[in-house]
Amino acid sequence: MKFQPIHTIFMVIITTMVAGQSPSQGQLGIFDNHSDIGNVHHKGWASYSATDNTYTISGSGTNMWFNTDEFHFVWKKMSGNVSLSALIEMMDEGVDPHRKACLMIRQNLEPDAPYVDIALHGDGLTAMQFREAKGGMTHEIKSNHLAPIKIQLKKVGNYFTMYTGSTKKELEITGGSLRLELTAPFYVGLGVCSHNNEVLETIKFKNVVIKENLKAIDTVTKVESSLEILDIASLNRSEIYHTKSHIEAPNWTPDGKRLIYNSDGLLYKINIEGGTPQMIPTGFAKKINNDHGISPDGTQMVISDQTETGNSMIYSFPIEGGKPEKITPLAPSYWHGWSPDGKTLAYCAERNGNYDIYTIPFEGGKEIRLTSAEGLDDGPDYSPDGQYIYFNSTRTGTMQIWRMKTDGSNQEQITTDDYNDWFAHPSPDGKWIAYVSFNTDVPAGAHPPNKDVMLRLMNLKTKEVIILAKLFGGQGTINVPSWSPDSQKLAFVSYHPVK
Protein backbone atom coordinates (compact mmCIF):
# COMPACT_ATOMS: atom_id res chain seq x y z
CA MET A 1 0.00 0.00 0.00
CA LYS A 2 1.34 3.40 -0.92
CA PHE A 3 0.88 6.24 1.56
CA GLN A 4 0.19 9.75 0.44
CA PRO A 5 2.58 12.35 1.88
CA ILE A 6 1.37 14.00 5.05
CA HIS A 7 2.71 17.45 5.90
CA THR A 8 2.88 18.60 9.50
CA ILE A 9 3.89 22.19 10.28
CA PHE A 10 4.99 23.52 13.68
CA MET A 11 5.92 27.05 14.67
CA VAL A 12 8.99 26.96 16.90
CA ILE A 13 10.63 29.80 18.80
CA ILE A 14 13.62 29.30 21.09
CA THR A 15 14.63 32.20 23.27
CA THR A 16 17.79 32.39 25.39
CA MET A 17 19.39 35.00 27.61
CA VAL A 18 22.98 35.75 26.52
CA ALA A 19 24.74 38.76 24.78
CA GLY A 20 26.26 39.08 21.34
CA GLN A 21 26.22 40.59 17.86
CA SER A 22 23.86 39.79 15.00
CA PRO A 23 25.31 37.07 12.78
CA SER A 24 25.96 37.61 9.10
CA GLN A 25 24.30 35.69 6.26
CA GLY A 26 26.48 33.00 4.69
CA GLN A 27 26.36 29.74 2.85
CA LEU A 28 24.28 28.30 5.67
CA GLY A 29 22.40 31.50 6.29
CA ILE A 30 22.66 32.55 9.90
CA PHE A 31 24.55 29.40 10.93
CA ASP A 32 28.28 28.67 10.79
CA ASN A 33 28.43 24.97 9.93
CA HIS A 34 26.75 21.58 10.18
CA SER A 35 27.94 18.28 11.67
CA ASP A 36 26.92 14.72 12.38
CA ILE A 37 26.79 14.21 16.14
CA GLY A 38 27.48 10.71 17.43
CA ASN A 39 27.78 7.41 15.62
CA VAL A 40 25.25 7.91 12.81
CA HIS A 41 25.00 5.24 10.13
CA HIS A 42 24.21 7.62 7.25
CA LYS A 43 26.02 10.90 6.74
CA GLY A 44 23.63 13.82 7.17
CA TRP A 45 23.49 16.94 5.06
CA ALA A 46 21.99 20.42 5.07
CA SER A 47 21.19 23.10 2.50
CA TYR A 48 19.94 26.65 2.71
CA SER A 49 17.71 28.61 0.35
CA ALA A 50 18.03 32.37 0.75
CA THR A 51 15.02 32.84 -1.51
CA ASP A 52 12.54 31.58 1.05
CA ASN A 53 14.88 31.40 4.09
CA THR A 54 14.51 27.64 4.38
CA TYR A 55 16.89 25.03 5.77
CA THR A 56 16.49 21.48 4.53
CA ILE A 57 18.21 19.01 6.84
CA SER A 58 18.60 15.25 6.60
CA GLY A 59 19.72 13.23 9.60
CA SER A 60 20.13 9.63 10.69
CA GLY A 61 20.74 8.38 14.22
CA THR A 62 19.27 5.91 16.65
CA ASN A 63 18.09 8.47 19.18
CA MET A 64 18.80 11.62 21.19
CA TRP A 65 18.36 10.07 24.62
CA PHE A 66 20.05 8.22 27.48
CA ASN A 67 23.72 9.36 27.79
CA THR A 68 24.55 9.97 24.11
CA ASP A 69 23.00 11.48 20.98
CA GLU A 70 23.01 10.65 17.28
CA PHE A 71 21.68 13.31 14.90
CA HIS A 72 22.62 15.95 12.33
CA PHE A 73 23.13 19.46 13.68
CA VAL A 74 23.22 22.82 11.90
CA TRP A 75 24.80 25.23 14.35
CA LYS A 76 26.22 28.59 15.27
CA LYS A 77 28.63 29.07 18.16
CA MET A 78 27.29 31.94 20.25
CA SER A 79 27.48 33.98 23.38
CA GLY A 80 25.04 36.63 24.46
CA ASN A 81 21.28 37.14 24.18
CA VAL A 82 19.76 35.06 21.40
CA SER A 83 16.41 33.82 20.15
CA LEU A 84 15.89 31.20 17.46
CA SER A 85 12.59 30.75 15.64
CA ALA A 86 11.35 28.58 12.76
CA LEU A 87 8.46 26.88 11.04
CA ILE A 88 9.09 23.13 10.86
CA GLU A 89 7.71 20.97 8.09
CA MET A 90 7.82 17.18 8.33
CA MET A 91 8.19 16.02 4.72
CA ASP A 92 6.09 12.85 4.96
CA GLU A 93 4.97 10.18 7.42
CA GLY A 94 8.52 9.02 8.01
CA VAL A 95 9.71 5.60 9.08
CA ASP A 96 9.55 6.04 12.87
CA PRO A 97 6.87 8.06 14.69
CA HIS A 98 9.52 9.27 17.14
CA ARG A 99 11.73 10.94 14.53
CA LYS A 100 12.66 14.33 15.90
CA ALA A 101 13.03 17.88 14.67
CA CYS A 102 14.85 19.88 17.31
CA LEU A 103 15.80 23.43 18.12
CA MET A 104 18.69 23.13 20.51
CA ILE A 105 21.09 24.94 22.81
CA ARG A 106 24.07 22.65 23.35
CA GLN A 107 27.29 23.01 25.32
CA ASN A 108 29.48 21.47 22.59
CA LEU A 109 29.47 19.03 19.66
CA GLU A 110 30.36 15.93 21.67
CA PRO A 111 27.62 13.27 21.61
CA ASP A 112 27.28 13.21 25.42
CA ALA A 113 27.26 17.01 25.93
CA PRO A 114 24.83 18.85 28.19
CA TYR A 115 21.96 20.44 26.28
CA VAL A 116 18.36 21.62 26.26
CA ASP A 117 16.06 21.37 23.26
CA ILE A 118 12.49 21.34 22.12
CA ALA A 119 11.94 18.01 20.38
CA LEU A 120 9.01 17.77 17.99
CA HIS A 121 8.26 14.12 17.29
CA GLY A 122 6.66 12.77 14.18
CA ASP A 123 3.60 11.67 16.13
CA GLY A 124 3.07 15.16 17.60
CA LEU A 125 4.63 14.57 21.01
CA THR A 126 6.35 17.75 22.18
CA ALA A 127 8.90 17.73 24.98
CA MET A 128 11.70 19.80 26.42
CA GLN A 129 14.60 17.34 26.63
CA PHE A 130 17.77 17.98 28.60
CA ARG A 131 21.02 16.47 29.82
CA GLU A 132 22.37 18.23 32.89
CA ALA A 133 25.96 16.95 32.85
CA LYS A 134 28.42 15.46 30.39
CA GLY A 135 27.67 11.76 30.00
CA GLY A 136 24.57 12.03 32.14
CA MET A 137 21.15 10.63 31.37
CA THR A 138 18.63 12.56 29.30
CA HIS A 139 15.34 13.58 30.91
CA GLU A 140 12.30 15.38 29.61
CA ILE A 141 9.35 17.55 30.52
CA LYS A 142 6.38 16.65 28.35
CA SER A 143 4.10 19.40 27.12
CA ASN A 144 0.39 19.04 27.82
CA HIS A 145 -0.25 20.29 24.27
CA LEU A 146 -0.07 17.59 21.58
CA ALA A 147 1.06 18.58 18.06
CA PRO A 148 1.10 22.36 18.64
CA ILE A 149 1.46 24.75 15.73
CA LYS A 150 3.67 27.22 17.60
CA ILE A 151 6.42 26.39 20.08
CA GLN A 152 8.83 28.48 22.10
CA LEU A 153 11.74 27.56 24.37
CA LYS A 154 12.95 30.43 26.53
CA LYS A 155 16.19 30.54 28.49
CA VAL A 156 16.38 33.34 31.06
CA GLY A 157 19.62 33.10 32.99
CA ASN A 158 19.80 29.39 33.77
CA TYR A 159 16.06 28.80 33.35
CA PHE A 160 14.53 27.14 30.30
CA THR A 161 10.78 27.28 29.70
CA MET A 162 8.68 25.86 26.87
CA TYR A 163 5.76 27.64 25.26
CA THR A 164 3.27 26.33 22.71
CA GLY A 165 0.42 27.81 20.71
CA SER A 166 -1.91 27.28 17.78
CA THR A 167 -3.54 29.27 15.03
CA LYS A 168 -6.27 30.30 17.47
CA LYS A 169 -4.23 30.75 20.66
CA GLU A 170 -1.15 32.77 21.47
CA LEU A 171 1.93 31.17 22.94
CA GLU A 172 1.43 29.85 26.48
CA ILE A 173 3.72 28.07 28.90
CA THR A 174 3.24 24.32 28.51
CA GLY A 175 5.73 21.91 29.99
CA GLY A 176 7.06 23.45 33.16
CA SER A 177 10.57 24.80 33.40
CA LEU A 178 14.03 23.63 34.42
CA ARG A 179 17.24 25.13 35.73
CA LEU A 180 20.45 24.13 33.95
CA GLU A 181 23.73 26.00 33.59
CA LEU A 182 25.45 26.12 30.20
CA THR A 183 28.75 27.98 29.88
CA ALA A 184 29.13 30.54 27.09
CA PRO A 185 29.99 30.10 24.33
CA PHE A 186 27.53 27.36 23.43
CA TYR A 187 26.00 26.05 20.22
CA VAL A 188 22.58 27.15 18.98
CA GLY A 189 20.97 25.37 16.07
CA LEU A 190 18.65 22.93 14.33
CA GLY A 191 18.78 19.14 14.64
CA VAL A 192 17.24 16.14 12.91
CA CYS A 193 17.25 12.55 14.23
CA SER A 194 15.57 9.75 12.28
CA HIS A 195 15.20 7.53 15.39
CA ASN A 196 16.21 4.68 13.08
CA ASN A 197 19.89 4.56 12.22
CA GLU A 198 19.21 2.68 8.98
CA VAL A 199 17.38 5.59 7.35
CA LEU A 200 17.70 9.32 6.72
CA GLU A 201 14.81 11.64 7.54
CA THR A 202 14.53 15.03 5.83
CA ILE A 203 12.84 17.99 7.54
CA LYS A 204 12.46 21.60 6.48
CA PHE A 205 12.95 24.53 8.86
CA LYS A 206 11.34 27.64 7.37
CA ASN A 207 11.56 31.35 8.24
CA VAL A 208 14.48 30.73 10.57
CA VAL A 209 15.45 33.87 12.46
CA ILE A 210 17.98 34.62 15.20
CA LYS A 211 17.35 37.66 17.41
CA GLU A 212 19.52 39.03 20.18
CA ASN A 213 19.62 41.41 23.15
CA LEU A 214 16.55 40.04 24.91
CA LYS A 215 15.78 41.60 28.27
CA ALA A 216 15.50 39.58 31.47
CA ILE A 217 12.85 40.11 34.11
CA ASP A 218 14.73 41.88 36.88
CA THR A 219 12.07 41.81 39.61
CA VAL A 220 9.55 39.01 39.95
CA THR A 221 6.15 40.55 40.60
CA LYS A 222 3.92 38.04 38.82
CA VAL A 223 4.17 34.31 38.17
CA GLU A 224 2.26 31.64 36.30
CA SER A 225 1.87 28.14 37.72
CA SER A 226 2.46 24.65 36.34
CA LEU A 227 1.00 21.59 38.05
CA GLU A 228 3.41 18.75 37.31
CA ILE A 229 3.88 15.04 37.95
CA LEU A 230 7.38 13.57 38.30
CA ASP A 231 8.16 9.90 37.75
CA ILE A 232 10.56 8.74 40.48
CA ALA A 233 12.23 5.99 38.45
CA SER A 234 13.02 8.04 35.33
CA LEU A 235 12.97 11.59 36.79
CA ASN A 236 10.89 12.59 33.76
CA ARG A 237 8.17 15.17 34.28
CA SER A 238 4.79 15.91 32.72
CA GLU A 239 2.82 19.11 33.04
CA ILE A 240 -0.87 18.29 33.45
CA TYR A 241 -2.17 21.83 33.95
CA HIS A 242 -0.92 25.36 33.49
CA THR A 243 -2.61 28.54 34.66
CA LYS A 244 -1.91 32.23 34.93
CA SER A 245 -3.34 32.03 38.46
CA HIS A 246 -1.25 31.24 41.51
CA ILE A 247 -1.85 27.65 42.64
CA GLU A 248 -0.22 25.68 45.46
CA ALA A 249 0.27 22.42 47.29
CA PRO A 250 -1.22 19.44 45.43
CA ASN A 251 -2.60 16.48 47.39
CA TRP A 252 -2.95 13.14 45.58
CA THR A 253 -6.22 11.34 46.32
CA PRO A 254 -5.85 7.79 47.75
CA ASP A 255 -7.67 6.32 44.72
CA GLY A 256 -4.88 7.74 42.51
CA LYS A 257 -7.28 9.54 40.18
CA ARG A 258 -7.15 13.21 41.15
CA LEU A 259 -5.06 16.02 42.58
CA ILE A 260 -6.43 18.69 44.94
CA TYR A 261 -4.76 22.10 45.25
CA ASN A 262 -5.53 25.56 46.62
CA SER A 263 -5.75 28.83 44.71
CA ASP A 264 -6.94 32.27 45.81
CA GLY A 265 -8.30 30.90 49.09
CA LEU A 266 -10.30 28.03 47.55
CA LEU A 267 -9.79 24.34 46.78
CA TYR A 268 -9.88 22.70 43.34
CA LYS A 269 -9.68 19.15 42.05
CA ILE A 270 -8.34 17.97 38.70
CA ASN A 271 -7.88 14.57 37.06
CA ILE A 272 -4.26 13.40 36.88
CA GLU A 273 -4.61 13.29 33.09
CA GLY A 274 -5.36 17.02 33.12
CA GLY A 275 -8.50 18.79 31.97
CA THR A 276 -10.54 21.55 33.58
CA PRO A 277 -10.27 21.94 37.36
CA GLN A 278 -13.45 21.93 39.45
CA MET A 279 -13.93 23.99 42.59
CA ILE A 280 -14.70 22.06 45.79
CA PRO A 281 -17.45 23.76 47.87
CA THR A 282 -16.02 24.76 51.25
CA GLY A 283 -18.86 26.75 52.82
CA PHE A 284 -17.72 29.85 54.66
CA ALA A 285 -14.03 28.97 54.30
CA LYS A 286 -12.69 31.32 51.62
CA LYS A 287 -9.15 31.90 52.90
CA ILE A 288 -7.70 28.41 52.68
CA ASN A 289 -3.91 28.32 52.67
CA ASN A 290 -1.51 25.66 51.37
CA ASP A 291 -1.79 23.39 54.42
CA HIS A 292 -4.56 20.93 53.55
CA GLY A 293 -4.86 17.16 53.23
CA ILE A 294 -6.92 14.03 52.66
CA SER A 295 -7.82 11.29 55.13
CA PRO A 296 -6.22 7.87 54.62
CA ASP A 297 -9.59 6.39 53.58
CA GLY A 298 -10.17 9.20 51.06
CA THR A 299 -13.49 10.34 52.53
CA GLN A 300 -12.50 13.51 54.44
CA MET A 301 -10.41 16.63 53.99
CA VAL A 302 -8.81 18.98 56.46
CA ILE A 303 -7.97 22.58 55.67
CA SER A 304 -6.14 25.42 57.35
CA ASP A 305 -8.30 28.52 56.93
CA GLN A 306 -8.18 32.12 58.16
CA THR A 307 -11.75 33.26 57.40
CA GLU A 308 -13.19 33.27 60.95
CA THR A 309 -10.54 35.13 62.95
CA GLY A 310 -7.79 36.13 60.52
CA ASN A 311 -5.57 33.42 62.02
CA SER A 312 -5.29 29.92 60.60
CA MET A 313 -7.35 27.20 62.25
CA ILE A 314 -7.93 23.59 61.16
CA TYR A 315 -11.32 22.38 59.90
CA SER A 316 -12.71 19.21 58.31
CA PHE A 317 -15.44 18.40 55.79
CA PRO A 318 -16.31 15.57 53.36
CA ILE A 319 -13.94 15.31 50.40
CA GLU A 320 -16.79 16.18 48.02
CA GLY A 321 -17.17 19.47 49.89
CA GLY A 322 -19.43 20.81 52.61
CA LYS A 323 -19.60 22.92 55.74
CA PRO A 324 -16.26 23.03 57.60
CA GLU A 325 -16.23 21.77 61.19
CA LYS A 326 -13.61 23.28 63.50
CA ILE A 327 -11.03 20.92 65.02
CA THR A 328 -8.39 23.15 66.66
CA PRO A 329 -9.70 25.56 69.30
CA LEU A 330 -6.58 27.74 69.19
CA ALA A 331 -4.87 29.74 66.43
CA PRO A 332 -2.69 29.92 64.52
CA SER A 333 -2.65 26.21 63.61
CA TYR A 334 -1.40 24.81 60.29
CA TRP A 335 -2.23 21.20 59.36
CA HIS A 336 0.46 18.96 57.87
CA GLY A 337 -0.04 15.28 58.71
CA TRP A 338 -2.71 12.63 59.22
CA SER A 339 -2.00 9.42 61.13
CA PRO A 340 -2.39 6.23 59.04
CA ASP A 341 -5.31 5.05 61.20
CA GLY A 342 -7.13 8.32 60.50
CA LYS A 343 -7.57 9.17 64.18
CA THR A 344 -4.97 11.92 64.77
CA LEU A 345 -3.80 15.10 63.07
CA ALA A 346 -0.30 16.60 63.34
CA TYR A 347 0.24 20.30 62.82
CA CYS A 348 2.46 23.30 63.41
CA ALA A 349 1.15 25.89 65.83
CA GLU A 350 2.35 29.10 67.41
CA ARG A 351 1.73 29.29 71.13
CA ASN A 352 3.28 31.99 73.32
CA GLY A 353 5.66 33.13 70.60
CA ASN A 354 7.11 29.71 69.74
CA TYR A 355 6.26 27.42 66.80
CA ASP A 356 6.14 23.74 67.70
CA ILE A 357 4.62 20.44 66.58
CA TYR A 358 1.27 19.43 68.08
CA THR A 359 -1.21 16.61 67.64
CA ILE A 360 -4.97 16.52 68.21
CA PRO A 361 -7.68 13.88 67.74
CA PHE A 362 -9.46 14.23 64.38
CA GLU A 363 -12.77 14.27 66.27
CA GLY A 364 -11.50 17.19 68.33
CA GLY A 365 -10.22 17.48 71.87
CA LYS A 366 -7.11 18.60 73.71
CA GLU A 367 -3.98 19.31 71.71
CA ILE A 368 -0.67 17.72 72.74
CA ARG A 369 2.65 19.53 72.34
CA LEU A 370 5.41 17.26 71.00
CA THR A 371 8.40 19.62 70.57
CA SER A 372 9.78 22.36 72.78
CA ALA A 373 13.13 23.34 71.24
CA GLU A 374 13.81 27.01 70.67
CA GLY A 375 13.22 28.18 67.11
CA LEU A 376 10.83 26.88 64.48
CA ASP A 377 9.53 23.31 64.22
CA ASP A 378 7.21 22.83 61.24
CA GLY A 379 5.87 20.49 58.55
CA PRO A 380 4.99 17.30 60.50
CA ASP A 381 4.02 14.23 58.46
CA TYR A 382 3.47 10.64 59.61
CA SER A 383 5.43 7.63 58.39
CA PRO A 384 3.09 5.09 56.73
CA ASP A 385 3.65 2.57 59.55
CA GLY A 386 2.49 5.13 62.10
CA GLN A 387 5.72 4.86 64.11
CA TYR A 388 7.26 8.26 63.36
CA ILE A 389 6.48 11.89 62.63
CA TYR A 390 8.89 13.62 60.28
CA PHE A 391 9.30 17.38 60.65
CA ASN A 392 11.72 20.22 59.92
CA SER A 393 13.48 22.28 62.57
CA THR A 394 15.93 25.18 62.88
CA ARG A 395 17.25 23.99 66.24
CA THR A 396 20.76 23.35 64.82
CA GLY A 397 21.01 26.66 62.96
CA THR A 398 19.82 25.72 59.47
CA MET A 399 16.46 24.17 58.65
CA GLN A 400 16.93 20.39 58.63
CA ILE A 401 14.70 17.32 58.52
CA TRP A 402 14.10 15.50 61.80
CA ARG A 403 11.90 12.67 63.00
CA MET A 404 10.49 11.51 66.32
CA LYS A 405 8.20 8.91 67.77
CA THR A 406 4.54 9.89 67.60
CA ASP A 407 4.59 10.70 71.33
CA GLY A 408 7.44 13.19 70.79
CA SER A 409 10.23 10.97 72.09
CA ASN A 410 13.53 10.04 70.41
CA GLN A 411 13.90 13.20 68.31
CA GLU A 412 16.71 12.67 65.78
CA GLN A 413 18.15 14.67 62.90
CA ILE A 414 17.82 13.09 59.43
CA THR A 415 19.46 15.60 57.04
CA THR A 416 22.81 17.27 57.74
CA ASP A 417 23.68 19.48 54.78
CA ASP A 418 24.22 23.15 53.97
CA TYR A 419 20.76 23.69 52.49
CA ASN A 420 17.56 24.64 54.26
CA ASP A 421 15.34 21.55 54.00
CA TRP A 422 11.56 21.75 54.37
CA PHE A 423 8.41 19.62 54.29
CA ALA A 424 9.56 15.99 54.34
CA HIS A 425 6.87 13.65 53.00
CA PRO A 426 7.38 9.88 53.43
CA SER A 427 6.37 7.73 50.47
CA PRO A 428 3.38 5.40 51.06
CA ASP A 429 5.67 2.37 50.88
CA GLY A 430 7.98 3.85 53.53
CA LYS A 431 11.14 3.72 51.39
CA TRP A 432 11.77 7.43 50.79
CA ILE A 433 11.15 10.94 51.93
CA ALA A 434 10.73 13.76 49.41
CA TYR A 435 11.39 17.33 50.46
CA VAL A 436 12.18 20.80 49.12
CA SER A 437 15.57 22.46 49.65
CA PHE A 438 16.31 26.19 49.66
CA ASN A 439 19.76 27.67 49.16
CA THR A 440 21.62 29.29 52.06
CA ASP A 441 20.65 32.79 50.87
CA VAL A 442 17.19 32.05 52.30
CA PRO A 443 16.95 32.45 56.10
CA ALA A 444 16.60 29.15 57.94
CA GLY A 445 13.15 29.97 59.28
CA ALA A 446 11.69 31.12 55.94
CA HIS A 447 10.20 29.28 52.99
CA PRO A 448 9.40 32.15 50.62
CA PRO A 449 8.01 31.94 47.08
CA ASN A 450 9.91 32.61 43.85
CA LYS A 451 13.26 31.09 44.71
CA ASP A 452 15.73 28.64 43.21
CA VAL A 453 14.84 25.37 44.93
CA MET A 454 15.44 21.66 44.53
CA LEU A 455 13.11 18.74 45.03
CA ARG A 456 15.18 16.02 46.66
CA LEU A 457 14.67 12.39 47.59
CA MET A 458 16.28 10.43 50.44
CA ASN A 459 16.44 6.65 50.54
CA LEU A 460 15.56 5.96 54.18
CA LYS A 461 17.53 2.71 54.21
CA THR A 462 20.82 3.95 52.73
CA LYS A 463 20.36 7.69 53.47
CA GLU A 464 21.42 8.41 49.85
CA VAL A 465 20.02 11.71 48.57
CA ILE A 466 19.32 12.51 44.92
CA ILE A 467 18.00 15.61 43.19
CA LEU A 468 14.62 15.07 41.57
CA ALA A 469 14.32 18.50 39.94
CA LYS A 470 15.78 22.00 40.00
CA LEU A 471 13.08 24.60 39.59
CA PHE A 472 11.72 28.05 40.37
CA GLY A 473 9.43 27.60 43.34
CA GLY A 474 9.43 27.39 47.12
CA GLN A 475 6.30 28.26 49.05
CA GLY A 476 3.47 26.29 47.46
CA THR A 477 5.66 23.80 45.58
CA ILE A 478 5.31 20.78 47.87
CA ASN A 479 3.97 21.95 51.26
CA VAL A 480 1.70 18.92 51.77
CA PRO A 481 1.75 15.16 51.10
CA SER A 482 1.63 14.67 47.33
CA TRP A 483 2.82 11.11 46.67
CA SER A 484 0.88 8.85 44.34
CA PRO A 485 -0.61 5.88 46.23
CA ASP A 486 1.84 3.48 44.55
CA SER A 487 4.89 5.58 45.59
CA GLN A 488 5.98 5.88 41.95
CA LYS A 489 5.18 9.55 41.30
CA LEU A 490 5.19 12.91 43.00
CA ALA A 491 3.00 15.94 42.26
CA PHE A 492 4.28 19.49 42.69
CA VAL A 493 3.92 23.07 41.44
CA SER A 494 6.58 25.03 39.61
CA TYR A 495 6.36 28.74 38.86
CA HIS A 496 7.32 31.01 35.98
CA PRO A 497 8.02 34.75 36.22
CA VAL A 498 6.18 36.77 33.58
CA LYS A 499 6.15 40.42 32.57
Whose CA is closest to 433, among 399, 392, 395, 474?
392
Per-residue pLDDT, 499: 77
Query: What is the CA angle 200-206-209, rounded to 5?
Result: 120
State how far Cα 102 lies from the chain centre. Answer: 21
d(C-alpha 190, C-alpha 237), whole Å: 24
- By DSSP bridging, strand 201-212 and strand 82-90 are antiparallel
pLDDT of 40: 98
> How does pLDDT run across 404-443, given as a tens digit for each residue?
999 999 999 999 999 999 999 999 999 999 999 999 999 9
Please write the tens of the pLDDT for every residue from 40-99: 999 999 999 999 999 999 999 999 999 999 999 999 999 877 778 888 888 888 899 999
- Predicted TM-score (pTM) of the model is 0.93
> Which CATH class, in words, describes the domain spanning 8-212?
mainly beta
Greater model confidence, 38 or 144: 38
- Res 79: pLDDT: 83
| Pairing outcome for strands 237-243 and 138-142 | parallel
What is the spatial distance between Cα 399 and Cα 417, in angstroms, rounded to a whole number? 9
% of the chain surpassing 70 pLDDT: 95
Check for a shared fold between 8-212 and 223-497.
Answer: no
Q: What is the pLDDT of residue 6?
A: 38
Query: What's the one-letter identity of residue 270?
Result: I
Q: Count Cβ neighbours within 10 Å for each residue of 18-46 and write b for 16 or more, e otherwise.
A: bebeebeeeebbbbbbbebbbebebebeb
Rounded CA-CA distance 325/135 in Å is: 55
Tell which residue, 418, 426, 390, 419, has the closest CA to residue 406. Answer: 390
Q: How many other β-carbons are positioned within 10 Å of the β-carbon of residue 418? A: 8
Counting every residue written for the chain, the total comes to 499
Q: Which of 77-81, 113-117, 379-383, 480-484 has the lowest mean pLDDT?
A: 77-81
How would you class 397 by CB atoms within 10 Å of its CB: exposed for 0-12, middle for 13-18, buried for 19 or more? exposed
Would you kindly state where each structural domain of the chain is located, as residue ranges? 8-212, 223-497
Q: pLDDT band at 16, cuts 50/70/90?
A: very low
pLDDT of 26 reads: 54
Spatial distance between the Cα atoms of 65 and 195, rounded to a whole number of angstroms? 10
User: In the predicted model, is pLDDT for residue 115 greater than 90?
Assistant: yes
Say if residues 50 and 190 touch (Cβ distance below 8 Å). Answer: no
Contact predicate 338/297, CB 8 Å: no
Is the Cβ–Cβ distance between 250 and 476 less than 8 Å? no
Mean pLDDT of 316-333: 97
Per-residue pLDDT of 147-161, as tens digits, reads: 887 877 888 888 988
Q: How far is it, in rounded angstroms, from Cα 155 to Cα 130?
A: 13
Mean per-residue pLDDT for 305-319?
97
Question: DSSP E strands: which ranges in 52-121?
Answer: 54-59, 64-65, 68-69, 71-78, 82-90, 100-106, 115-121
DSSP string, 335-392: EEEE-TTSSEEEEEEEETTEEEEEEEETT----EE----SSBEEEEEE-TTSSEEEEE
DSSP 303-337: EEE-TTTSS-EEEEEETT----EE--SSSSEEEEE
- 223-497, CATH topology level: Neuraminidase (2.120.10)
- Contact call for residues 117 and 136 (beta carbons, < 8 A): no
Which pLDDT score is estimated for 472? 95
Instruction: Identify residue 184 by its one-letter amino acid code.
Output: A
Return d(Cα 349, Cα 367) in angstroms, integer. Answer: 10
Q: What are the C-alpha distances in Å from 136 to residues 61, 69, 123? A: 19, 11, 26
Report the Cα 397 to chain-centroid distance in Å: 29
* Over residues 294-305, mean pLDDT: 98
Say if residue 4's pLDDT is above 70: no
Please determine, for residue 10, whether its predicted confidence score (pLDDT) is greater than 80.
no
Confidence tier at 491 by pLDDT (50, 70, 90):
very high
pLDDT digits (tens, 9 = 90+) for 196-232: 999 999 999 987 878 787 788 788 889 999 999 999 9
> Omega into 185 within 30° of 0, i.e. cis?
yes
pLDDT at 22: 33
Percent of the chain's residues with pLDDT above 90 = 80
pLDDT band per the 50, 70, 90 thresholds, residue 8:
very low
Is it the case that residue 19 has pLDDT exceeding 70?
no
Q: Which residues pair with 406 in a beta bridge?
A: none
Element (H, E) at 470: strand 465-473
Calculate ∠ Cα 176-472-212, nearest 5°: 75
Q: Omega of the bond prior to 380 within 30 degrees of 0, cis?
A: no
Backbone angles phi, psi at 26, to 5 degrees: -145, -160
Question: Which of the 8 DSSP states describes residue 50?
Answer: T
Name the pLDDT band for 492 (thresholds 50, 70, 90). Answer: very high
Could you read off the pLDDT of 346-360 as tens digits, one per residue?
Answer: 999 999 999 999 999
Burial environment of residue 394 by CB neighbours within 10 A (0 to 12, 13 to 18, 19 or more): buried
pLDDT score, position 176: 83
Any idea what the Cα angle at residue 11 is, between residues 6 and 17, rounded to 5°? 150
**What's the average model confidence in pLDDT over 367-377?**
96
Give the SS3 label for residue 422. strand
Q: Does residue 18 register a pLDDT over 50?
A: no
Confidence of residue 23 (pLDDT cuts 50, 70, 90): very low
SS3 breakdown of the chain: % helix, strand, coil, rounded to 5? Answer: 0, 50, 50
389 falls in which pLDDT band (50, 70, 90)?
Answer: very high
